[in-house]
C-alpha cells in the first residue's frame, strides 16, 4: 500500500465519520423535539363540541340492494314534530313506507347532538339523527311496517338537554 492510498483511505474515513456524525445530530434533534413538545390539543370532547351539519343519507336499501322507494314516490313522508319534550308520547297516522322526522329539543338553546338513538320496535330498524343548521335535528328515512310502529327516541345534546320519547305511528294502507 502506498502513501497515496493511505491518505485516500483517511479522507474516505473522515468523510464517512462526518456524514455519520451529522446524521446522528439531525436525527437526535428531531427525536428530542418530537419527545419534548406538546401534541396538538385534540380530544374527543373537543371534537364532539364541533357540530357537524350533515344531511340524511338516501333511502334504505332492500336486501337486493335496490331502493325500497323512488324519490318521486308518495310513499315517503317528512314530519316536523316541533319541540320534543322529555317523556312525551306522540301518536300519528301515515300511509308512507318510510318516514323522516324533524325536531328539536325543548327548553334549551340550540346545541349539537351528543348522543342519540331511534329504534322502530316493529321491525328493529335503527335510525341515525343528523344536526341541522338551525339547531334542530332530522332522522334518515325510517322504514315502517303495516300496523303500529313504535319509535323510541333517546336524545342528548351538548348543552345538557335530554329527551326520551315515544312516537306511535299507525301505518294504514
Pairing of strands 89-94, 162-171: parallel
Neighbour tally for 94: CB within 10 Å:
16
Q: Rounded to two decimals, what is the model's pTM?
A: 0.56
173: Cβ contacts below 8 Å, ≥ 6 apart? 95, 146
Q: What is the pLDDT of residue 72?
A: 45
Q: What is the pLDDT of residues 15-64, one digit of tens each?
A: 999 999 999 999 999 888 888 876 665 554 554 454 444 445 544 444 44
Amino acid at each position: 500500500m502506498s502513501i497515496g492510498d493511505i491518505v485516500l483511505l483517511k479522507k474516505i474515513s473522515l468523510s464517512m465519520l462526518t456524514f455519520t456524525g451529522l446524521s446522528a445530530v439531525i436525527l437526535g434533534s428531531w427525536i428530542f423535539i418530537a419527545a419534548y413538545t406538546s401534541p396538538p390539543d385534540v380530544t374527543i370532547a373537543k371534537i364532539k363540541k364541533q357540530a357537524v351539519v350533515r344531511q340524511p343519507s338516501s333511502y334504505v336499501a332492500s336486501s337486493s340492494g335496490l331502493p325500497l322507494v323512488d324519490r318521486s314516490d308518495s310513499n315517503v313522508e317528512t314530519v316536523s314534530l316541533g319541540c320534543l319534550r322529555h317523556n312525551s308520547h306522540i301518536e300519528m297516522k301515515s300511509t308512507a313506507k318510510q318516514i323522516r322526522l324533524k325536531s328539536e329539543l325543548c327548553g334549551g338553546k340550540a346545541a349539537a347532538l351528543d348522543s342519540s338513538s331511534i329504534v322502530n320496535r316493529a321491525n328493529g330498524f335503527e335510525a341515525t339523527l343528523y344536526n341541522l343548521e338551525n339547531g334542530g335535528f332530522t332522522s334518515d328515512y325510517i322504514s315502517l311496517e303495516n300496523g303500529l310502529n313504535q319509535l323510541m327516541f333517546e336524545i342528548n345534546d351538548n348543552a345538557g338537554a335530554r329527551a326520551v320519547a315515544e312516537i306511535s305511528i299507525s301505518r294504514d294502507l
